[in-house]
Structure 1
Amino acid sequence: MSAAATAEVTVQQRPIVHRTRGSTHGAITRLVSPGDLGEVLKPFIFLDRFEVAAGGEPPRFGMHPHSGIATLTYLMSGQTAYEDTTGEHGARGVLPNGGVEWMMAGGGVWHTGAPENTERVLGFQLWVAMPPELELAEAHSIYLGPEGVPHVGPVRVLLGAYEGKVSPIPAPSNMTYLGVHLKAGETWRFVPPAGHTVAWAAVGEGTLTVPATLRTGDLAVFDDAGGAITFEAQTDTAFVLGSGVQHPHELFMGPYSVHTSEAALHRGQAGIRERAQLLRQQGRM
């Protein structure tokens, strides 16, 4: 092989096969749903980007249920209040800038949250599909401040592992989810672990080249060949990247729920109804 051919192989970039800007309703842009790109990107089956200006009107969700999935919320800016029904007494508090909320819904859970609009709020909420052995497990939640999220240079390890750093949140399957913050002119190269054929990136703010240009609000899906991806920041940029082994199970969907079978979906929805009854008895609904 000639030197020129060798150089060409060395710099070859993993191509983008799909890109989207999703659909925006108020402060929330839905980039991935289980019924569309979620089928391609599973175990990453849902992704919302949310942004509320300082003093703006934050979205109000109220108490709502989930089963069969886990949600991971990552705050790039600002803070949000949260409440859930995990454990004996539930959890409530405020997730700070740079914090991570993990809620494994299992056989049924209710939760709510609201951005605090004293400053700009920016972040992503991801849904992760669970394997059969976890989709009906006991619900639990983990809340990490920024000091609890492992860092490697510009990378925050939100789920899985990267460069020897491991998230304190147990990954339900073979996946990596990273928050990346680059200054203008910086370059970062991601080499996926062996077997990771799913890869995507979504830009919270800023402009990247990969070498195609990705701007604030863009999501790009990379091909399934498993090659490296090089990102170059044209401006100060914050984005998230997901990489993983394809979830091998069919998705069975209900309102707020995703499971691996019809039977598991019915059990999850029954768990949601049971917890709703408890919430009413406690005056929380």
Structure 2
Amino acid sequence: MSTITHSSAASVLPTERGRARTIVTKTRGRPSGAITRLMGPSDLGELLKPFVFLDFFEADSSVIDKATVHPHSGIGTITVVTKGEMLFNDPKDGSGTIRYGGLEWMRAGGGVWHGDEVTAGASNSIQGFQLWVALSPELENAPSLSQFIEAQFTPGVGPARVMVGEYAGAKSPAQSPVGMTYLLVTLDPGEHWTFMPPEGHAVSFLSVANGSLMAGEVIDAGELAAFEPGEIPIAIEAGPQGATFVLGSAVPHRHDLVLGYYSVHTSAAALAAGEARIQAIRPR
């Protein structure tokens, strides 16, 4: 099969401009039933903050209807689907379906309870990622908000869908913090693609849902790879079955990670305020 290459001035392979971006660590995380915790704030979250948690889920769709209501504060969550679908019913966004290319963006801010806003769709199974991002002091105790964005509203740049932030002139409708980009990418077998970090985005990772790819070394389905800090482009080549993956890049989060059970804040005082708010709005 012939190799497919995206060619433009912005996609010159980094090996043609200098050395390639180095992977500093890979992990398959800690599986627990349908969910694998690929990253937490006490391990890769320190290296990759503002990205502090990444869960990969793959299960029968009925698991969505069994989700329990739970709280968060101090973070934002980004949920994307790589296979299957889920339904949402939201007072602001109405009702609809989240499939490949769609997402839920939720800013917990000063405190929120959630977990019953989505239900199983028509697919028998569901696969995807949920990413937690640490918020700045200005946003960590701000009012909460959520958005359900269907696939037709997320812009595409070559093989990438811009789920959060901006990339190559395309901007997601998600009301996420500035300085952060999150892409959902599918490459055909043997296809080449180069990620060019936006200015100031020294933090980068990717995680493969299906297939495999080469980005300096092989990254298989179910693995997360963290890249060295810096703004060197990331050259990617899909394996023989192609690849579907998420890729995050961001300006480094220059604050401490102060952890609660469902919360991440920048200080003990901010955490106490978030946890107090969670208790004040606890569902009865």
TM range (shorter): 0.7 to 0.9
Q: Which residue of structure 2 aligns with residue 15 of structure 1?
A: 22
Tell me, yes or no, if the aligned pair for 1:199 and 1:244 is still in contact at 8 Å. yes
Query: Given that residues 131 and 173 in structure 1 are in contact (C-alpha distance below 8 angstroms), is that contact kept between their aligned partners in structure 2?
Result: no
Would you say 1:105 and 2:108 are equivalent positions? Answer: yes
Q: Aligned residue for 1:283?
A: none
- Residue 146 of structure 2 is matched in structure 1 by 141
Letter in 1 for 2:48: L
Equivalents in 2 of 1:8, 1:192: separation in Å? 15
> Which sits farther off after the overlay, 114-123 or 174-183?
114-123
1:252 match: 258
Q: Unaligned 5+ residue runs, structure 1? A: 1-6, 281-285
Quick check: 1:74–1:123 contact (8 Å CA) kept in 2? yes
Encode CA deviations 1:25-55: one digit per residue, 9 max, x unaligned.
Answer: 111111011111111100001000111147x
2:243 to 228, 232, 237: 237
8 Å CA contact 1:22, 1:31 repeated in 2: yes
Alpha-carbon RMSD across the aligned residues, in angstroms, is 2.1
The DSSP-based 3-state class of the residue aligned with 1:236 is: strand
Distance 1:74 1:57, change over 3 A: closer
- The superposition leaves residues 31-85 of structure 1 with CA deviations (integer Å, 9 ceiling, x where unpaired) of 011111111100001000111147x75583310000110101011121224578x
2-structure distance, mates of 1:11, 1:166: 29
Amino acid across the alignment from 1:200? F
Residues 163 and 156 of structure 1, relative CA distance in 2, 3 Å threshold:
same
* 2:74 counterpart of 1:68: yes
Contact kept, 8 Å, 1:83 with 1:111, in 2: the verdict is no
Among 226, 239, 245, the alignment partner of 2:231 is 226
> Structure 1 residues 160 and 8, CA, compared in 2 at 3 Å: closer, same or farther?
closer
Q: Using a 3 Å threshold, how does the CA distance of structure 1 residues 145 and 193 change in structure 2: closer, same or farther? A: same
Aligned match of 1:261: 267
2:276 paired residue among 265, 270, 274: 270
Moved more, 190-199 or 248-257: 190-199
Please tell me the residue identity of whatever aligns with 1:164. Answer: G
**Paired AA for residue 190 in structure 1:** F
- Residue in structure 2 matching 1:33, options 40, 44, 61: 40
- The answer to whether the 8 A contact 1:81-1:92 is kept is no
Counterpart-to-counterpart distance in 2, 1:213 and 1:271: 44
Q: Report the Cα distance in structure 2 between the residues aligned to 1:205 and 1:197, rounded to whole angstroms.
A: 26
TM-score, normalisation: structure 2? 0.88
Aligned AA (2:86): T
Q: Is the 8 A contact 1:57 1:117 kept in 2?
A: no
Deviation at residue 194 of structure 1 after TM alignment: 2.1
Whether the aligned pair in 2 keeps the contact of 1:95 and 1:101 (CA below 8 Å) is: no
Matched, 1:180 2:185: yes
Question: Identity over aligned residues, as a percent?
Answer: 45
Structure 1 length-normalised TM: 0.87
Distance 1:35 1:91, change over 3 A: farther
If you compute each CA radius of gyration, which structure gives the higher value, 1 or 2? Answer: 1
